[in-house]
Structure 1
């Protein structure tokens, strides 16, 4: 219990610091005036947690607890009641609880389901779309609402400046946005975007794919990511990808692509056709 308490106290301090940092309002509707569980999904570092804590903090009379499960000390806890008891102690019996990166917790969907029945208003975030949706469909049918948070839209990207921009400045911002995207942290804090994106990609591949799915040949995943990044918007076939990654099975390639989509790294796009069969059989991008 002491380990859990110490962890949550440190997370609470981080939460209080985050609430004081600059925040760009996201164009997403959010409220918790019913007992529906709010599910916030999206890529790692897209601003899911920041959005949630500021939205909760903004709601009048909102008193919420916070737990970030991107911490091995919490993931190793066996008795989940210890977590709830510590939350009630640290946050003085909150009516609402924000669970961050909850997909790291084993059988989290059963835990959440029980708390919802006990009357807690729950907001949970996760970086793995399929994991969340598949398990929620089984255990929380009809009792949850899903919100997807992506990196900044171009409008939000411009809002960071908090001033009226000239046409030339907007064009310059557009070029930067198209080149590097709109991840909130490097945009707001003006940190090195190339190093940030490289580290983020490596972390996502390891945590959300290799570690979670117990990939025995991580080099194949890395080769696949490198090839796809070098051929954005180009058609591909599973046979070609199989040769590039030296994977003998086309089925394995399909499975790896599914993992990459679940982690919001890539999105497959079907070829346009009025015939469903052609959409399914033709190469994708």
Structure 2
């Protein structure tokens, strides 16, 4: 098992609190593995159920406290895997939690929008919520030193960081795994739960987005290319975001006329998934998209860092109509941080417009020599 940074945090919550633990994350990132290891270390008699199994689903969707009591009788901890598949899961967990407050409950889900919609109102104030992502650099550094992580950088940019991908030895096996993962799991939650009419267009849209990482995305252009309305494109993007396939970065502006604000950039939670969509696993020295890969990698790793540390920041990119730009901007605790991402460059010039308008802001170049401090 690859040590996960959330492990001790969740373990502490289970031991010290009776709130329900909700763990979101993409499929195959290790949610079930994490919870099973947690159960192994905790001093509780645990019942683990899979929401796909009909007997458990029937009881946990019944609103029948007597039936639910029978199910958990003699157990101190209930683990529900893929809880979003249980109808009215939020209301049923509320009934169970309120009647048996001493019962520890952990629920996992691979689609945040479905599980959140079914738990948010009934469970307000009754949960601790976490998100688990593909393996982070910070997690790799628990077992390997900086030198060895830097040596794996090219591999991470090509094949991503799903747990299984990292543990497979050869490139051919990594590619095969990613192809199976993308075809079997990538769209499953969205297609099953959002009643999407055109699955083929969803896949085509993802492929177009994969070619555009690091660039501003026009919903109108995507719609025209796919024969869909702008609103439908926006809906699909929102669903893919809630299913942990992609995420958006908005433009930073303090209402200066020259700053671009209308379009977002879109990134992938895992570069292996992005590369399988465009069918390109070539070595970095044979690619034309290295800059975009590096940008996506750093932004998603920074996102993991903040999520696992429990730090809250506002994240953006910055660009003016005259072409001045910064790859990444953070705003936290009244401080403004600007970053330029270049894989091999040793120097970067601060954009004059940025320095003039935000003279107190921090600026830093992130390259392959110093990226560890940015993402751990």
Would you say same fold, with TM above 0.5? Answer: yes
Aligned to 2:49: 67
Equivalents in 2 of 1:277, 1:93: separation in Å?
A: 65
1:45 aligns to what SS in structure 2? coil
Aligned to 2:367: none
- Structure 2, unmatched stretches of 5+, are 266-376
Q: Which of 113, 117, 128 is the aligned partner of 1:145?
A: 128
Equivalents in 1 of 2:240, 2:67: separation in Å?
A: 31
Equivalents in 2 of 1:52, 1:94: separation in Å?
A: 16
Offset from partner CA, 1:74-108 (integer Å, 9 cap, x none)? 557775769847754xxx72111111111011111
Q: Give the Å deviation of 1:188.
A: 3.2
Q: Which of 141, 155, 168 is the aligned partner of 1:176?
A: 155
Q: 1:277 to 1:214 in 2, by over 3 A?
A: farther
Equivalents in 2 of 1:235, 1:175: separation in Å?
A: 25
Q: Which of 176, 200, 209 is the aligned partner of 1:219?
A: 200
Aligned to 1:39: 22
Q: 1:234 to 1:71 in 2, by over 3 A?
A: farther
Q: Which has the larger radius of gyration?
A: 2
8 Å Cα contact 1:270-1:284 kept in structure 2: yes
TM-score (norm 2): 0.61
TM-score (norm 1): 0.79
Q: Which of 247, 251, 254 is the aligned partner of 1:274?
A: 254
Pair 1:100-2:81 in alignment: yes
8 Å Cα contact 1:42-1:129 kept in structure 2: yes
8 Å Cα contact 1:238-1:250 kept in structure 2: yes
- Structure 1, unmatched stretches of 5+, are 1-22
Equivalents in 1 of 2:243, 2:199: separation in Å?
A: 15
Q: Which of 29, 33, 36 is the aligned partner of 1:50?
A: 33
Higher strand fraction: Structure 1 or Structure 2?
A: 2
Pair 1:126-2:109 in alignment: yes
Q: 1:236 to 1:73 in 2, by over 3 A?
A: farther
Q: Give the Å deviation of 1:213.
A: 1.2
Aligned to 1:228: 209
1:268 aligns to what SS in structure 2? strand
Q: Give the Å deviation of 1:203.
A: 2.8
Q: How many residues align?
A: 254
Q: 1:56 to 1:232 in 2, by over 3 A?
A: same
Q: 1:214 to 1:280 in 2, by over 3 A?
A: farther
Offset from partner CA, 1:160-189 (integer Å, 9 cap, x none)? xx5x6683x433212212322221123235
Q: 1:220 to 1:185 in 2, by over 3 A?
A: same
Equivalents in 1 of 2:77, 2:153: separation in Å?
A: 39
Of structures 1 and 2, the one scoring higher in RCO (CA 8 A, sep 6+) is 1
Query: Which moves more between the two structures, 199-208 or 140-149?
Result: 199-208
